[in-house]
Amino acid sequence: MPPRRDADFNISDDSEPEDDELDEDYNASRTIRTKGKGKGKGKELGAYAWEASYKRSWDTVQEDEAGSLQAAVQDLVARSKRRRCACSWGDAPIRRTIIRHMMFLVDLSTAMMDRDMRPSRFDLTLSYAREFVSEWFDQNPLGQMGVVGMRNGVGERIGDMSGNPQDVLKCFLDKTLLEPAGEPSLQNSIEMARASMNHLPTHSSREILIIFGSLTTVDPGNLLDTVDACVRDQIRISIVALSAEMKVCRDMCERTGGVFGVALNEGHYKDLLFELVPPPADKSPVSRLAAQAGEGQSELMQMGFPTRLPATAPPSLCVCHSRLRSEGYICPRCNSKVCDVPTDCDICGLMIVSSPHLARSYHHLFPAPAYKAVLELDGKEASACHACSLPFPTTARAPLQTEEGMSPHGRYRCPKCKHDFDAECDLFVHDVLHVCPGCG
Amino acid sequence: MSSPSHLSLILDLTPVPWDALSHSTPPLRLKDFLAQALVFINAHLALRNENSVSVFGALPGRSMILYPPAGSTQVEADENTFHVFGQVDEGFMRSVEQEVEDLQEVEEDVPPALVGALTKSLCYINRLSNPPPPSNPSEAPPPPPHSRILLFSVSPDASVAYIPFMNCIFSAQKLKVAIDVCKLDESEVIFLHQACHLTGGAFVPITQREALLQYLSMCFLSETETRKTLAVPTLDKVDFRAACFCHKEIVDIGYVCSVCLSIFCQPVLECSTCRTKFSPDTLLRFGNMNLNGHAHTHSNGTVTA
């Protein structure tokens, strides 16, 4: 069972003074949930385990000498940021699937009209879906995504598998086309998604992401047979549930190697969804890719990196449409001109791609080393952040409580180049830049 | 007018090419270059009161911030100079002199740490666009500036730093920072081409070095907003070649691992990044192609069928 929302929780939730403190609590509760699946009863409190994680935030916030909460609030903000990155970058996995294919299944049943999330589950899902799609294509430039809606007991194809983020975003733009109605059908929709991924090459990943608001599903047959078929086809199913945990959903995710999560509230919903953005790590030795690697099914592809001609170049005929135009890309092997990349050269058959396209995913393979929090100073440290050259605070801020991964001096050190960085740059380096300024 | 703009300069201070430049015809000595760059910086600052500037330097194997100086330095007030100009002139020249003096004997083939300077510059810009919350919450924080980077390049590409460099380009894209490149010598820089193309910056090779200042003020002085209405010199051709992971060679036809997309300059049996073993059939195919002589010159050898 997911944590029940009882009266106590709601009251404390509403009376929270700080938004960031709220975030904090969600994260904490999530950790507990993933470990104990929310089932374990807290022994010492005699209550649910998750209740222990709801700290009374008004006790932990302390005023400084001037009676201001500024410092305390900043500290909390910094801490919640730290925690977010601490969960996202662990040790780097060996193998990640870079070419991804995902079917995005959205529940469009009447359960989505519930207003327990503001403004409604449906509206929130649409806006998060748009953000998710942009972020997903940003991190997986070679990925493709399709959209299926679940309503009136059938799966409805909303958007075909496409590599163009604009095409996918268009699916979520028109609200009137997606008006929720009837009951959802997991089996019908999964079967539809499975069918549209059947033809995909073996070296890409096949994933189904389901946003599920209902507590019921209307299926024509046995849903477990469909799950078996997905396991056979090596399709990974991940579900973000909006109401409560269903046994069949969790089983489905566990059997196919996906992730299951129940959203507690708006912020947690977004966190759950965005955890699915980075390519899934393949750590298990029996995984499909590893097995494939053993069988030697992975391929080495020959690719050409073209030269792009500008709009001011003298016009010439392209080999793909025989049209006279200035812009184009020159195949490096046969020097013929094609209109767009990525494509296969019509003359020599070479796969022509633009190398920045490939390079966009390399940070998954070579991440920046995780910085370690500096707990003690020995007096020889640099006085300013190595990246942005802003001076470090000279006085150590007394931490409100001992927190793992937080430095009282605001210093985080690269294990490789031994330079110190401040919290802001640490976040930026690992979230956006993916290059350590000291090592680079 | 819209928000203020921030200009981040990256100077390649590698001694060897600068020595070559000062002996070429027409000569461009580092001292003359710095003087012209200062005029350009002052022009940028004079455009608007809120405009700001930062300067980063790249030397072989290390990079550093040149301006603003880390510690607060007091510059003597001079009635005849706008005090911001005075601060920049003093602070910038002093740190360049310091770094040049500190320069030790370096091996010739160590490439300048352009990536280091670029990452520092991006971190600095990130700091500017996410300012710490003001101490007085009732005050509205100043609007974050539009930033752009101008890179002065005097040395050829370092293909060793291909991946970090591309990461920098993508981060600049994310921050909406344009990377302009001013190329002072004639060496080939395809990665800088790609940087300009992808971030929407201008790439200007300086053909007449005595007119450097004119190039600077004509091509690089306008801010990103204004450029939409101007004809800023862009590249005529962009070369999308990449550097391979195995020998760091720049290739136009590469062999790519289907699992992790690593690029190799010749067919390999196993991907060095993700340890995927490739099927013998594919290798054989490339091997045969070599025998038939169709493949690119890089792809000879290594595969014994």
What is the spatial distance between Cα A435 and Cα B164, in angstroms, rounded to a whole number?
Answer: 6
- The secondary structure element, H or E, covering residue B167 is helix B162-175
Does the structure show a pLDDT above 80 at A296?
Answer: no
The rounded percent of chain A whose pLDDT value lies above 90 is 30
Domain ranges of chain B: 5-229, 242-305
What is the spatial distance between Cα A358 and Cα B127, in angstroms, rounded to a whole number?
Answer: 29
* Residues of B in Cβ contact (< 8 Å) with A362: 163, 166-167, 261
A76-93+367-440 — its CATH code?
3.30.40.10
pLDDT for res B160: 84
CA-closest candidate to residue A69, choices B133, B127, B139: B133
pLDDT for res B77: 65
Whether residue A429 lies within 8 A of chain B, CB to CB, comes out as yes
Whether residue B110 lies within 8 A of chain A, CB to CB, comes out as no
Helix, strand, coil share of chain B (percent; to 5): 40, 20, 40
Q: Do B113 and A305 touch (CB under 8 A)?
A: no
Q: What is the pLDDT along chain B (305 residues), one digit of tens a residue?
A: 578 899 999 999 888 889 899 988 888 889 999 999 999 999 999 998 889 999 999 988 888 898 887 665 565 666 777 878 888 888 888 888 888 888 776 666 678 889 999 999 999 999 888 776 656 656 666 778 889 999 999 988 888 889 999 999 999 998 999 999 999 988 888 899 999 999 988 999 998 888 899 999 988 998 888 888 888 787 778 888 899 998 888 899 999 887 788 899 888 888 888 777 777 777 777 764 543 434 344 444 443 33
pLDDT for res A384: 85
* Inter-chain CB pairs, A–B, below 8 Å: 209
Q: Do A359 and B119 touch (CB under 8 A)?
A: no
Domain ranges of chain A: 1-39, 76-93+367-440, 95-274, 304-363
pLDDT for res B278: 79
Whether residue A231 lies within 8 A of chain B, CB to CB, comes out as no
Does the structure show a pLDDT above 80 at A353?
Answer: yes
User: Helix or strand or coil: residue A57?
Assistant: helix
CA-closest candidate to residue A103, choices A142, A153, A157: A157
pLDDT for res A410: 80
- Print burial letters for B169-204: b (CB count within 10 Å at least 16), e (below 16): bbbbbebebbbbbbbbbeeebbbbbbbbbbbbbbbb
Whether residue B258 lies within 8 A of chain A, CB to CB, comes out as yes
Mean pLDDT is lowest, of A78-82, A333-337, A412-416, B210-214, for A78-82
pLDDT for res A287: 46
Whether residue A98 lies within 8 A of chain B, CB to CB, comes out as yes
Mean pLDDT is lowest, of A89-98, A128-137, A247-256, for A89-98
Q: Do B259 and A361 touch (CB under 8 A)?
A: no
Does the structure show a pLDDT above 60 at A299?
Answer: yes
What is the spatial distance between Cα A314 and Cα A330, in angstroms, rounded to a whole number?
Answer: 13
* Residues of B in Cβ contact (< 8 Å) with A358: 242, 256, 261, 263
What is the spatial distance between Cα A2 and Cα A41, in angstroms, rounded to a whole number?
Answer: 13
Residues 6+ apart with CB under 8 A from A77: A20
pLDDT for res A147: 94
Using left for φ > 0, alpha for ψ between -120 and 50, and beta otherwise, residue A264 falls in alpha
Nearest-Cα distance to chain A for B53, in Å, is 13
Determine the average pLDDT of the residues in A38-67. 54
Instruction: Quote the tokens at residue A373.
Output: 């929090």
Confidence bin at A200 (pLDDT 50/70/90): confident
Per the CB < 8 A criterion, the answer to whether A284 and A95 are in contact is: no
- Whole-prediction pTM: 0.78
Whether residue A291 lies within 8 A of chain B, CB to CB, comes out as no
User: Helix or strand or coil: residue A171?
Assistant: helix
pLDDT for res B290: 47
pLDDT for res B40: 94
Instruction: Choose between B221 and A48: higher pLDDT.
Output: B221
Instruction: Quote the tokens at residue B95.
Output: 């740190």
- Residue A176 backbone dihedrals phi, psi, to 5 degrees: -70, -25
* Residues of B in Cβ contact (< 8 Å) with A201: 258
pLDDT, tens digit, 9 for 90 and up, residues A68-92: 666 666 666 666 666 555 444 444 4
Burial class (CB in 10 A: 0-12, 13-18, 19+), A56: exposed
CA-closest candidate to residue A220, choices A192, A259, A257: A192
Pairing of strands A144-151, A100-107: parallel
- The secondary structure element, H or E, covering residue B39 is helix B30-47
* Residues of B in Cβ contact (< 8 Å) with A326: none
Q: Which CATH superfamily is domain B5-229 in?
A: von Willebrand factor, type A domain (3.40.50.410)
Q: Do B119 and A203 touch (CB under 8 A)?
A: no
* Residues of B in Cβ contact (< 8 Å) with A432: 126, 171, 174-175
Confidence bin at A254 (pLDDT 50/70/90): very high
What is the spatial distance between Cα A217 and Cα A183, in angstroms, rounded to a whole number?
Answer: 7
Confidence bin at A48 (pLDDT 50/70/90): low
pLDDT for res B67: 84
pLDDT for res A224: 93
Determine the average pLDDT of the residues in A14-26. 43
Whether residue A334 lies within 8 A of chain B, CB to CB, comes out as no
Whether residue A436 lies within 8 A of chain B, CB to CB, comes out as yes
pLDDT for res A93: 44
Give me the interface pTM, i.e. the ipTM: 0.85
Mean pLDDT, chain A, rounded, equals 78
Whether residue A92 lies within 8 A of chain B, CB to CB, comes out as no
Tell me A212's DSSP state.
Answer: E
Q: Give me the helices (H) in A142-265, please.
A: 165-171, 186-196, 223-232, 247-256
What is the spatial distance between Cα A356 and Cα B170, in angstroms, rounded to a whole number?
Answer: 9
Mean pLDDT is highest, among A49-58, A124-133, B87-96, B242-251, for: A124-133
Q: Cis bond leading into A342, ω under 30°? A: yes
Using left for φ > 0, alpha for ψ between -120 and 50, and beta otherwise, residue A275 falls in alpha
Instruction: Quote the tokens at residue A275.
Output: 């955890």
Best of B120, B259, B272, B279 to mutate (most A CBs within 10 Å, chain A):
B259
Domain A95-274 has CATH 3.40.640.10: no
Per the CB < 8 A criterion, the answer to whether A388 and B126 are in contact is: yes
Does the structure show a pLDDT above 50 at A265?
Answer: yes
Determine the average pLDDT of the residues in A305-318. 89
User: Helix or strand or coil: residue A261?
Assistant: strand
Confidence bin at A117 (pLDDT 50/70/90): confident
Cα distances (angstroms) measured from residue A429 to each of A437, B116, B124, B171: 8, 12, 11, 10
Tell me A251's DSSP state.
Answer: H
pLDDT for res B49: 87
